[in-house]
Amino acid sequence: MATSAEFQAAIKPGTKAEWTQLEYTVPELVRSGDSVQIDHPCGYRLVSALPHDAAVGTKIYVSVPAASRPFPPLVAVKAEAIVGSTIGGIPAYSSTALKVVEWKADAEKCQLCSSTFGLFHLRKHHHCRECGASVCSNCSPTFKCVPGYTAEQRVCSGCAAAAGLGAEASSSATPVGSATPLTA
């Protein structure tokens, strides 16, 4: 599992992150502070407060950054299960807290290996969709789930390693742990 998960993406300038609306049916009466937990397929635990007066069966819609894979079922969590900003010991981010970082433009050299980009070099210029770095093909062989995109995206070797993906690894899922159901 990624240890210092930053809930962020680098989006091409002039475009926007894509968002998905998830439907959720409230399973039982909720109190103030009860929430719904959304384990984002990219490996982030998200949380959204439930309306405190929601009735059983009330449908709510939660807006979350899109993903290249299906979302697992949403799970209700009681207020007391949220400790600081963690649930089950895992950092939980607001469902809308996606941080869009700058997509660095027009670097002359790869920010990782310092290879020069250009017509007469085999090294093509790419951008990491997670941190925004300007990198060459050699330094960005991995595609992975990035929040805000509906297809797997190119990331630099640094971001791939932080997500536990090797250079040649296909993008494997990053489970974020067990849910705490709303019971008792």
Specify the DSSP class assigned to residue 109: B
- 143 neighbors 153 (Cβ within 8 angstroms): yes
Cβ 100 to Zn ion shortest distance, Å: 14
Using CB under 5 A, which of the segments 15-23, 98-106, 111-119, 145-153 binds Zn ion? 111-119
How many alpha carbons lie under 13 Å from residue 168 in its C-beta half-sphere?
0
Q: Look at residue 160 and give its three-state secondary structure.
A: helix
- How far apart CA 7 and CA 179 sit, in angstroms, is 19
Residue list 118-157, contact with Zn ion (CB under 5 A): 128, 130-131, 133, 136, 139, 156
When binding is defined by CB under 5 A, the residue of 113, 151, 169, 173 that contacts Zn ion is 113
Cβ 78 to Zn ion shortest distance, Å: 36
In sequence order, the 6+-apart residues with CB closer than 8 A to the CB of 84 are none
159 binds Zn ion (CB under 5 A): yes
Give whichever of 39 and 130 is closer to Zn ion, judged by the CB atom: 130
Name the residues that contact Zn ion, by CB under 5 A: 110, 112-113, 115, 128, 130-131, 133, 136, 139, 156, 159
